[in-house]
Chain A
Amino acid sequence: MLSYTIRRVGQLIPVLLGMVFIVFMMIRAIPGNPAQLILGQQASKQAIEELTKQLGLTEPWYTQFVEYMKGLFQGDLGMSLKTRNPISDELWPHLAATIELAFVAMIIAVIIGVNAGIISAWLQNSWFDYGVMLIALIGISMPIFWFGLMEQYFVSIQLDLLPTTGREDVRAPIEAITNLYLLDTLIQGNFSQFIEVVKHLILPGIALGTIPMAIIARMTRSSMLEVMKSDYIRTARAKGLKMPLVVYKHSLKNAMIPVVTVIGLQAGLLLGGAILTETIFGWPGIGTYIYDAISSRDYPVIQSGILVIATLFVFINLIVDLLYAAIDPRIKY
């Protein structure tokens, strides 16, 4: 087990290095000078040239790469070209916002997805089953940005139930401690603010959670069906155990193994899929951060942002793999 873990982590390093390298090369191939963007339309030609030089952009790319890697090994993510702040200072609040959103989306997806999947399997070929599966397919087929708009239009504007954008009620601002507002408000014991945060999370959470929800429902259903056909479940039923008990106690446990994998895979991708959701809901997360950086050619921010997301993604999958290995005795390493 330990050796497997070590080997698995070892494999990660070239992937991460490769990613940094690819991002580095690619971003520099993008036309456009950050100096122009920083200085804006009124800037003179000399000013732009001067700033380009100061930002180190006249250096050859390999020098820049070496500098960047050197910094990375010292835990320095570099400095934003646009704001001139260390990226490590700016990154966490954005990342926290995305993690919180992804977490809520995942919870919504897991609760609804797993339960819908179980009931579907249990009532296989019923109308309920067909309905759930059709809805799940629609969920997968829906463009997330359109769904977000529709949510805003119907729930937030027409029915006026939930706030449209942002993370908090700006009239009662939250004092950030960890930047995970759910946690911060609980630490401060401010329940009304906590509710406010939850309110802001619902719509984007649903928008982001829909696809994983649909996938989890389908996955749960099919693995449940398989397990329920197995001998020991048939035995359990033959012994006269009640169906709900069989479903929730005996089958679910076994059916969860493939589901966990899917959940892990989704959790990682949620971090990236957040870009579109964040755009719609004005969420100050990492997706917004990177997207803005791309449009202002803020190279260090793009690099570090993508690096952080990808690292998280890779590690979540690593954890899932290890978990998987630990749960399922049939898998040997």
Chain B
Amino acid sequence: MAELAGTTPPITNPTAAQEERVISPWRDAWRSFRKNKLAMAGMFLVAFFILIAIIAPLIAPYSYDVQKMADKHLAPSAAHWFGTDEFGRDILTRIIYGARISIWVGCISVAGSVIVGSTLGVIAGYYGRFIDMIISRVFDIILAFPSILLAIAVVSVLGPSLRNALIAIALINVPIFGRLVRSKVLSVKQEEYISAAKAIGMKDSRILFQHVLPNSMAPIIVQGTLAIATAIIEAAALGFLGLGAQPPTPEWGKMLADSKDFILDAPWTVIFPGLAIMLTVLGFNLMGDGLRDALDPKMKN
């Protein structure tokens, strides 16, 4: 699905990048990022959703789980900006709380994939032959599954819950980071300064932490931002199929699934959660794109 947005990893030319970024690569990147209007818009969207996620209890006009059957399916109005759902709960409130869940799932699952993926990638790239072959084949196998299918199977094994959905999403993204870091490691390994470092007896761990990982940071950040976007959609898809969050959790995908039967009578119950997903994901995608342009010198005009 949407992780395809990220399946064209930046083809960086490390030497050129190095020279250009020697002075202050991060500040340079920020300068170019700031000039990119779409990227800034994305960053504001992301910041906005993160903010409402954090201050949800302060701004939410109602409680997200107290039911008031008399207020079932009220159309959007001054009292309920986005209307109410089947249980008479305020949809705006549920969307605000839902931001917590979606952003949490997106970030944590990607953090998990980055950690596991990078570790495996480093091991594969650095230590070599046999281990490399095994790890790479496992990545190939995981990537050969349609990701949502694999996620469904994993959740079926573990049982449907938000936590298990998060694990499933983290798992299917592991190879993306694994491959990325592995290729970085392989290319860095060729560099003369690494050979030099080895020659003077520098420890493996030091080489890893001082040279290999910093070199992988930029692509990981870009890929990670885009992966959060995908993870949010996937979490919503699992919720939609009934395999993610359980009631009364106001997860956006679940809200959609619960209300899709009422699309005729109460379209607001379907439209708003979908818009919320779309805008959040759009934010991360715009930001990821901007980061790629800023951090990847090849795309720089």
Contacts and interface: CB of A to CB of B under 8 A. Distances in A.
Interface stretch (B46-54, B60-68, B210-218, B260-268): B260-268
Interface in B265-301: 267, 270-271, 273-274, 277-279, 281-282, 285-286, 289, 299
A259 to B, nearest CB: 11
Contact of A215 (B4, B38, B156, B279): B4
Given A219-B8, A273-B148, A144 B1 contact: yes
Q: Find the residue from A18, A143, A262, A290 having the highest chain B CB count within 10 A.
A: A143
Contacts of B7: 265
Interface stretch (A22-30, A88-96, A182-190, A231-239): A22-30
Given A269-B1, A313-B144, A290 B149 contact: yes
A22 B274 contact: no
A145 B240 contact: yes
Given A18-B137, A141-B285, A276 B274 contact: no
B156 A19 contact: no
Nearest to B289: A137
Interface residues of A, number: 52
A271 interface: yes
B2 A23 contact: no
B1 A273 contact: yes
Interface residues of B, number: 48
A78 to B, nearest CB: 18
Given A138-B278, A265-B7, A266-B4, A279 B241 contact: yes
Interface of B: 1-2, 4-5, 7-8, 38, 137-138, 140-141, 144-149, 152-154, 156-157, 159, 229, 233, 236-237, 240-241, 253, 256, 260, 263-264, 267, 270-271, 273-274, 277-279, 281-282, 285-286, 289, 299
Nearest first, the 10 A-B pairs at minimum CB distance are: A272-B146, A146-B274, A141-B281, A141-B282, A18-B141, A140-B5, A29-B157, A30-B156, A310-B144, A30-B157
Interface of A: 14-15, 18-19, 22-23, 26-27, 29-31, 130, 133-134, 137-138, 140-146, 149-150, 152-153, 157, 211-212, 215, 219, 222, 262, 265-266, 269, 271-273, 275-276, 279, 290-291, 294, 302, 306, 309-310, 313-314
